[in-house]
Amino acid sequence: MNDVAPALGVTVDVVAFTIRDRTLWVLLVERAGPPFEGGRALPGGFVRSRRDHRGRVHGEDLDEAALRELAEETGLRPGEGALARVHLEQFASYGAPARDPRMHVVSVAYLAFAPDLPDPRPGGDARTAGWVPVAAALDLAFDHDMIVTDALERIRSTLEYTPLATAFLGREFTIAELRAVYAAVWGEELPAADFHRKVLSVPGFVESSGAVTARGGARGGPRARLYRAGDARLLHPALLRPGRENAVRL
Amino acid sequence: MNDVAPALGVTVDVVAFTIRDRTLWVLLVERAGPPFEGGRALPGGFVRSRRDHRGRVHGEDLDEAALRELAEETGLRPGEGALARVHLEQFASYGAPARDPRMHVVSVAYLAFAPDLPDPRPGGDARTAGWVPVAAALDLAFDHDMIVTDALERIRSTLEYTPLATAFLGREFTIAELRAVYAAVWGEELPAADFHRKVLSVPGFVESSGAVTARGGARGGPRARLYRAGDARLLHPALLRPGRENAVRL
DNA sequence: TTAATAGTGTCTTTCAGACAATATTAT
DNA sequence: ATAATATTGTCTGAAAGACACTATTAA
């Protein structure tokens, strides 16, 4: 092993998704300083670490850093209110030597699944942050276009195998609301009848709360039953995206 | 963003798996210096990066660093011979502040799927390296026990959804050899008849080479047909581990 | 000849997907 | 009343898993 450690930078970047108007939005910030000043980027920053006068390391773990960055940008406090319900998950690291013009920086990227959070407070940070539809999240700073693309593929796959779609919803939700999450993330409508039966047949995906919605749909229809997230960590059987046969070959 | 970059170390660690004697082995090195001197650890080391006299960054990407480390430890050259057939894949990063007693080090961990490589040449590096059955890969330095555990779960899952089991085999292989890979990684035997039909029914998993083995099995049996890896990147439908229903709940 | 192994046949159950049908509600 | 929506019913075909069966080969 080469025991000399070059001074590299380590950042965390968070790809925070939420759902508004039946589509997927991502949280972006406007950069206040160089490089890419004025450009849009993912919320993120350097992992904090320092030594005290005895030489002992005081630093944060990667998960902590990601949660801190998300809290800073949204103006919410970690573990409080809506942020307490956000699911954070590391998904990849990026370390191309030229990805940051200042120095060699390795970025650890996180996915965040957020219920509809409030718009970030404008004066909360030097940078302004805001939610943007994923289709409009282009021409980002650094290699963040690639990170968003990878994150999108990851979240689409995650919804197939885990019950984390519920992390986009409130504590109680209807099957139709859950279906809307899948439709927004996968970018296609799903057959309502089959989705309904499928969700209820997967053990631990959702559990009934016994209640129903106060009103029917905006344009009519019966009042729907309400459910809560169940205790499953994985969906078995999985809820696979339709028509993926063509994505399989080289 | 906090624009000051603390000096953190960045390493890559490689969890290289191979199959011998129908079980899974992992490549470990013996540490030549502190910390954990004399202890066993995953092959790995600091990502290289330096600035020239103009201040330009010359560094390696994470994938490059992982391949370099693996080549150094095995004594093979990257892109040459058996190493050219190794599949390398990033799977997680670890950054607990105290995971390395010297300083705050973030490690990017890679999986390697290797055909049966030769034993590392003894004098190739300051450290001695060797293959160890995964069940015996305990009490490793740093947080490498956790990394191996995570890698094991990842490779088990990867075999469900990708054709990468073929990366453990030579260019041509029999269905029974492929089944032995699955059995070694999943730690359980699979029904031969169903596995056979299943593999052949997944488009692009394997393609026939037309040939058969020179001899039948050691204790009798017909000569088996030979196959090569196909062009699929994903298995559709997937080849799921049996009896996972109980792993689903909290 | 015997035992082991490759490969095929067949049956049952589960699951995915298409689509019809019914019930409830907003307008 | 009408249209929209939640939920249930039914059918078809794919896929998983159990297990019997045949053919081929080493010893």
Asked if the Cβ of residue A221 lies within 7 A of any atom of strand C, the reply is yes
Nearest to A50 among B6, B108, B232 (CB): B6
For strand C, the positions having any atom within 7 A of a protein Cβ are: 2-10, 14-21, 23-27
Q: Which two tokens stand for residue A104?
A: 């060699």
Instruction: Kindly state whether B54 is in contact with chain A, defined as any CB-CB distance less than 8 angstroms.
Output: no
* Euclidean distance between CA atoms A140 and B147, whole angstroms: 33
User: Are A138 and A42 a contacting pair, CB within 8 Å?
Assistant: no
Q: Any idea which of A216-220, B133-137, B177-181 has the lowest mean pLDDT?
A: A216-220
Phi, psi values for residue A85, rounded to 5°: -95, 0
With b for 16 or more beta-carbon neighbours within 10 A and e for fewer, the B82-101 pattern comes to ebebbebbbbbbbbbbebbe
Place of tokens 């504590």: A171
Residues belonging to chain A = 250
Instruction: Kindly state whether A124 is in contact with chain B, defined as any CB-CB distance less than 8 angstroms.
Output: no
* Euclidean distance between CA atoms B181 and B201, whole angstroms: 18
Position with higher pLDDT, B119 vs A156: A156
A164-210 pLDDT, tens digit each = 999 999 999 999 999 999 999 999 999 999 999 999 999 999 999 99
- Give the pLDDT score at B163: 97
Burial of B14 (0-12, 13-18, 19+ CB in 10 A): buried
pLDDT at A138 over 90: yes
A171: left (phi over 0), alpha (psi -120 to 50) or beta: alpha
The residue-averaged pLDDT of A146-175 equals 97
Asked if the Cβ of residue B97 lies within 7 A of any atom of strand D, the reply is no
CA of A177 to C1' of C14 (A): 27
The whole-angstrom distance between A117's CA and the closest CA on chain B is 21
CA of B235 to C1' of C10 (A): 26
Nearest to A98 among B57, B96, B232 (CB): B57
Nearest residue on chain B to A100, alpha-carbon basis: B57
Instruction: Kindly state whether B52 is in contact with chain A, defined as any CB-CB distance less than 8 angstroms.
Output: no
Q: Which residue is nearest to nucleotide C20 (CA to C1')?
A: A193
> For testing the chain A interface, which of B10, B58, B202, B250 should be mutated: the one with the most A CBs within 10 Å?
B10
- Give the pLDDT score at A212: 97
- Give the pLDDT score at B214: 96
Residues above pLDDT 70, as percent of chain A: 93
The residue-averaged pLDDT of B143-158 equals 98
pLDDT at B42 over 50: yes
For strand D, the positions having any atom within 7 A of a protein Cβ are: 2-9, 14-21, 23-27
- Give the pLDDT score at B233: 95
Contact assignment for B236 to A250 by CB distance below 8 Å: no
- Read off the pTM: 0.95
Asked if the Cβ of residue A199 lies within 7 A of any atom of strand C, the reply is no
Sign of CA dihedral A130, A132, A137, A143: positive
Cis amide linkage into residue B133, ω under 30° from 0: no
Q: Which of residues 132 through 171 in chain A touch B, CB cutoff 8 A?
A: none
* Euclidean distance between CA atoms B79 and B73, whole angstroms: 15
